[in-house]
Amino acid sequence: MILSDNETCIDMINSKPIAKSIVKLIVDNKDEPITIGVHGDWGAGKSSVLEMIKEELASQESIACIKFNGWKYQGFEDAKIALMESVVTTLIEERSLKEKAKDIIEKIKKNIDWLKVAKGAGSIAVTALTGVPPVTLITDAITALKDGVKDPEKVSGIIEKLGKFSNDSKLFSKESTSIAFQEFQKSFDDLMKKAGISKLVVLIDDLDRCLPEVAIETLEAVRLFMFSKSTAFVIAADEAMIEYAVKKHFPDLPENEISKEFSRRYLEKLVQVPFKIPALGEVEAKTYITLLMISSSLDAADSESITRLIGHALEKIKRPWIGEGITVSEIQSILGDDKYQSVAEQIRISNQISSILSKRSSGNPRQIKRFINTLLLRYDIAHARGYGEDIKLSCLAKLMLLERFIPNIYESIASNLSPDGTSPFIAYLESKKESGQEIPEDKKTEGLDAKAPNISAIESQLKEWENNEELLEWLKIEPLIGEEDLRPYYFASKERKDFFLTQVQSEQIRELVQKLMGSRMLIASLTKEISALSQSNAEMIFDLICSKVQENTDYSNIPQGIDGIRALVELHPKLQQKLIEFIKTFPVATVGAWICSGWEKSITDDNYKRQLSEYIQEIAKNGNTTVKMIAQAVQKKYK
């Protein structure tokens, strides 16, 4: 099960105490406005802290808690107006004020509409809000807009609003922006009293995702509400991103320490109380990884067990300096034997990856969760594509650590795999680690010549890698993978890079693979080249083409490369076993009619003909309607 990356009230990293502390601060400052900052790096858990604050406040009837996401409004509204309108609308809906405070709501809407006019009509309407007598100017503005603005929809919308204000020009005693805001503030205070709200808490999220000008506009909009003693704002943002937004907003500031100090002071002036979410320490991160891996294997029916497990784990990490987090025996005791057995592999993998993942991710919860989600997704896709049996989750996890944190070595290993898919590099380094002895220089590549496609590469890199502390730490992780066929694992990570053709050192073989993926006419001209292949090269080419075929998910029509495989096996009959195993990977329920014929020249051994017949018989029973009929008609050929 893929883990949700959305904000959550399920606390696995002990963030709830931060939320509780903020709530206490808000409640204790009931007679004063307050702005609180929740700061932390991208993915530190800021949004989840806001969700926990909202949950904590839900039971307090006299406190209204509203969430505002500036990123969602980016590009649609002026940030100030968007915040004002969102707060008012949410308050009306959640407190059922539509009829109860009808007159106040109508006045607030007119205030906001007037401010929209100022934004929409540009400089003309802005001038109207500076104190010039409105009626004459609004009439002139309507004419000017008709003549000067090309967007018909925008013109009609603004004109409609301007016309409305032309008829209702007595709404304000003075038509100016400052008066408009004052009117809004007074009406808003009246609305709060009518609703019986002692404190309005506004949670502002995703501000560090916004463009710099939107971020600054939203922060400036917060000041519009700070007139009221009954308001509290909690702003979740990465301090560094906000400081960057300030610098972009004031481009004339010099690029020096004064500029940085100005940016910091701007945020400090607005945010009275900053809370910094700390990065997870090693014990906390290991516990988090374990909880995520277990949660990925248990379903909603096990929520009670997961809740108890999380509660116990959080108790264990309250004092991480004196403990090692939750233990395997404690997990088994809480879950019970049956549930423990169902997650035993996930627990082993969490123990396997947690040391490197926690340190190299700098304890960032989102980076940790994304790594685990990618691991689980690749494993699921491998099974969906029919080669899941070739992948061990523990080996995939180990290789993904190398891919994520030492990518240059990960790619070097891919480029120097043996024909059987094993890595001479890893095999040598693991053997050295296991023996604990130095291998003589002239013996280092002994026995690898037959397997390694590029011995000179091994000799040149072994010395460098033997002194790579990060690599040596990675090698200590179980399981050993020096004798594993790594090709399916690299294929599973192929969304980033195609490792397979680059690992083939011979240009001639690379070209032959490309040709065998071509048309039947082209393939028919390759008989001499295919016949000249050694058995090991024929196997390598077979595996490469199979990998390319499996990139498809729709097998209703014959995939590109199947004709090449048939020609290859026809001339290298020892590949028949690999071919029959490959054929069986195609899903019976969805494979097309092409699978039922065309194998006569490539599958000639009686044993493999029998296996093919059994596979086609299975299609005749469980395939789609059209393919069933064809399978029933042709299966007799293979008896």
CA distance 63 to 197: 6
CA-closest candidate to residue 63, choices 189, 221, 202, 186 = 202
| pLDDT of 125 higher than 50 | no
| pLDDT of 132 higher than 70 | no
CA-closest candidate to residue 271, choices 522, 37, 19 = 37
Task: Please tell me the total number of residues recorded for the chain in this structure.
Answer: 639
Which of 94-98, 148-152, 384-388, 450-454 has the highest mean predicted lDDT (pLDDT)?
Answer: 384-388
* DSSP-based three-state secondary structure for 176: strand
> In this structure, what DSSP letter does residue 130 have?
B
If you average pLDDT over residues 131-146, what whole number do you get?
43
Q: Contact at 8 Å (CB) between 276 and 39?
A: yes
In the chain, the amino acid numbered 579 is L
Q: What is the pLDDT of residues 320-347, one digit of tens each?
A: 888 778 899 999 999 998 889 999 999 9
Pure H helices in 271-364: 282-295, 303-316, 328-335, 337-360
Looking at every residue in the chain, the average pLDDT score rounds to 80
The residue assigned the tokens 């481009």 is 251
Percent of the chain, pLDDT > 90?
Answer: 32
**Cβ burial, residue 628 (10 Å; 0-12/13-18/19+):** middle
**Which of 267-276, 370-379, 499-508 has the weakest average pLDDT?**
499-508
| pLDDT of 565 higher than 90 | yes
Q: How confident is the model at residue 258 (pLDDT cuts 50, 70, 90)?
A: low
595 or 226, which is more confident: 595
CA distance 478 to 253: 54
Which token pair is 369?
Answer: 């969760």
| pLDDT of 193 higher than 50 | yes
**Which of 1-10, 101-110, 218-227, 499-508 has the weakest average pLDDT?**
499-508
CA distance 47 to 242: 16
Q: Contact at 8 Å (CB) between 7 and 50?
A: yes
Q: Contact at 8 Å (CB) between 570 and 524?
A: no
CA distance 246 to 211: 11
Q: What pLDDT shows up at residue 531?
A: 92
Q: Contact at 8 Å (CB) between 327 and 24?
A: no
If you average pLDDT over residues 567-581, what whole number do you get?
94
Q: What pLDDT shows up at residue 509?
A: 78
Q: What pLDDT shows up at residue 122?
A: 43
Domain boundaries, the chain: 16-95+197-276, 282-382, 385-492, 505-638
If you average pLDDT over residues 592-600, what whole number do you get?
91
CA distance 236 to 225: 17
Superfamily of domain 16-95+197-276: P-loop containing nucleotide triphosphate hydrolases (3.40.50.300)
If you average pLDDT over residues 551-570, what whole number do you get?
90
If you average pLDDT over residues 295-321, what whole number do you get?
86
Please state whether beta strands 63-69 and 199-205 pair in parallel, antiparallel, or not at all (unpaired).
Answer: parallel
98 or 401, which is more confident: 401
Q: How confident is the model at residue 439 (pLDDT cuts 50, 70, 90)?
A: very low
Q: What is the pLDDT of residues 359-368, one digit of tens each?
A: 999 899 999 9
Q: What pLDDT shows up at residue 198?
A: 86
